[in-house]
């Protein structure tokens, strides 16, 4: 789709600078920004979500007990993601839950999402730099997200990643 619109000189200069820095066209960068808005940012205020730096989140996790992290992750994973999925996709199912994780990986910068599909099995890996407390949080968050769907899966925790095997 081709469209035309006006932007401020300051915004244009910032786009030029970042496009050059990332070795992409201004058009590609603008499209990436529009996709991030349409898939993620427009839902932030609706669900009272905030953008928080990974180092700050890591400090919060490291100041917490394992039990507090588990409790917070279970509460977070059972509420906002379901509402987010319903608002974005209209149906809460396994495919949309996985797509939600993919979206969070692409736009929230909390973890990197990778998916491996083999014969009869799929594995999702969420890699991060939050340490073992981050893995505890993510494992329980994902468990709370997936458990109501009734699918069989196994979550494994590593110091800087979790895997979900289906």
Residue for token pair 């699918």: 151
Q: What is the distance, to the nearest Å, from the Cα of residue 93 to the centroid of all Cα atoms in its chain? A: 17
Do 92 and 142 belong to one domain?
A: yes
| Selection from 129, 128, 144 nearest residue 70 by Cα | 144
Coil, helix or strand at residue 117: strand
Q: What is the pLDDT averaged over residues 79-107? A: 93
| Selection from 117, 161, 122, 120 nearest residue 139 by Cα | 161
Do 158 and 99 belong to one domain?
A: yes
User: What pLDDT is recorded for position 137?
Assistant: 98
Q: How far apart are CA 100 and CA 61, in angstroms?
A: 22
Question: Can you give the pTM of this predicted structure?
Answer: 0.80
Judged against a pLDDT cut of 80, whether residue 44 lies above it is answered with: no
Do 108 and 138 belong to one domain?
A: yes
For residue 96, the enclosing domain spans 54-165
Q: Is residue 3 situated within a structural domain?
A: no
Do 98 and 142 belong to one domain?
A: yes
Q: Is residue 93 situated within a structural domain?
A: yes
pLDDT, one tens digit per residue, over 61-88 is 999 999 999 999 999 999 989 998 998 8
Q: What is the pLDDT averaged over residues 98-105? A: 94
Q: Is residue 116 situated within a structural domain?
A: yes
Do 85 and 134 belong to one domain?
A: yes
Q: How far apart are CA 59 and CA 105, in angstroms?
A: 20
Q: Is residue 141 situated within a structural domain?
A: yes
DSSP character for 45?
Answer: T
Q: How far apart are CA 3 and CA 35, in angstroms?
A: 15
User: What pLDDT is recorded for position 122?
Assistant: 95
């Amino acid at each position: 789709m081709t469209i035309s619109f006006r932007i401020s000189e300051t915004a244009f200069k910032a786009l030029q600078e970042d496009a050059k820095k990332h070795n992409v066209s201004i058009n590609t960068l603008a499209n990436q920004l529009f996709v991030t808005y349409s898939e993620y940012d427009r839902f932030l205020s609706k669900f009272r979500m905030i953008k928080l730096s990974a180092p700050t989140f890591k400090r919060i996790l490291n100041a917490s007990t394992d039990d507090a992290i588990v409790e917070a992750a279970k509460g977070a994973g059972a509420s906002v993601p379901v509402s987010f999925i319903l608002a974005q996709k209209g149906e809460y199912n396994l495919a949309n839950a996985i797509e939600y994780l993919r979206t969070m990986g692409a736009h929230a910068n909390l973890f990197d999402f990778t998916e491996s599909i083999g014969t009869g099995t799929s594995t999702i890996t969420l890699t991060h730099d939050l340490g073992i407390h981050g893995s505890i949080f993510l494992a329980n968050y994902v468990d709370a997200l997936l458990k109501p769907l009734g699918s069989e899966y196994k979550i494994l925790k590593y110091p800087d990643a979790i895997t979900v095997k289906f």
